[in-house]
Structure 1
Amino acid sequence: MSNLLIGAIVAMVMALSFYTIGVFAERKQGRLLWWHAVIFWLGFLCDSLGTSLMSRISGGHFSLTLHGVTGLIAILLMAFHAVWATVILLKKDQQAQVKFHKFSLWVWVIWLIPFVMGMFIGMM
């Protein structure tokens, strides 16, 4: 197993860990807090790193496959999610802070699709 692949796997598992902790902690606490946004950004950064490393392994080009398209959607959603969380916190929008967990859960579920798909592709 190459060092690039090991790095990509570690980055993706870290992204999963950060995102899962952030989404479910936010849900449990009942409101969006600053540390949740930091965790979302860390998840996004780890996912970006893992995606970049996997892209290098596969030749550095985007493929119009189910995994490629769902992965692109997921990473764009993660970026939007982290930015929106930050904006809500900066604006101190109390109502949005309480409702944000509903959006977070959907982003997490959508993100899991290419994550799991990538595991199966990697095992084949």
Structure 2
Amino acid sequence: MLIFATIFISAALVFYSVGVWSEKFQKTLKLWHVIIFWIGLICDTLGTTMMEKMATEGSLFSFHGITGLLAILLMLFHAIWATIVLIKKDSKMMGKFHKLSILVWFIWLIPYISGMIYGMTK
């Protein structure tokens, strides 16, 4: 299960990074960005769920557990908000959306990196 969890978490990093940074460089939110955000969220949720099933008791309330939950909730908010902005076709918001995307991406990196560090020390 560890291999699949690692694959899903790594896929989340790839999908989310491609979505966030391509949106920033293209200077507008597009449908394919939103789809990539949702795929990244799904991959992260699957990988995190698998990791949680293997984790020791009490790890949910660790730094990594709390930041991981926060990151998934932020990714969910981000994907929902991206969907709303795209449906409304608000060009002003579509052009500024990358600021939120980059913030969420950086926050998401915290549990990703802390998970790698924690995994390497075990």
TM-score of the pair, normalised by structure 1: 0.94
The one of 91, 103, 107 equivalent to 2:100 is 103
Residue of structure 2 equivalent to 1:28: 25
- Alpha-carbon shift at residue 64 of structure 1 (Å): 1.0
Equivalent-residue separation in structure 1 for 2:34 and 2:19 (angstroms): 8
Identity of aligned residues (%): 50
What's the TM-score, normalizing by structure 2? 0.96
1:58 corresponds in structure 2 to 55
Q: Residue 55 of structure 1 contacts residue 61 of structure 1 at CA under 8 Å; is this kept in 2?
A: no
Does residue 76 of structure 2 align to residue 79 of structure 1? yes
**Cα distance in 1 between the residues matched to 2:32 and 2:57:** 33
State the Cα RMSD in Å. Answer: 1.2
- Structure 1: gaps (5+ residues): none
4+ long deviations beyond 3 Å: 59-62
Question: Structure 1 pair 121/62, CA: closer, same or farther in 2 (3 Å)?
Answer: closer
Amino acid at match of 1:76: L
Of 54-63 and 22-31, deviating more is 54-63
Q: Which runs of 5+ in 2 are unaligned?
A: none
Q: Tell me the CA shift for residue 59 of structure 1.
A: 5.3
User: C-alpha distance in 2, partners of 1:104/1:17?
Assistant: 14
Single out whichever of 57-66 and 22-31 deviates more from structure 2: 57-66
Residue 118 of structure 1, CA deviation: 0.2
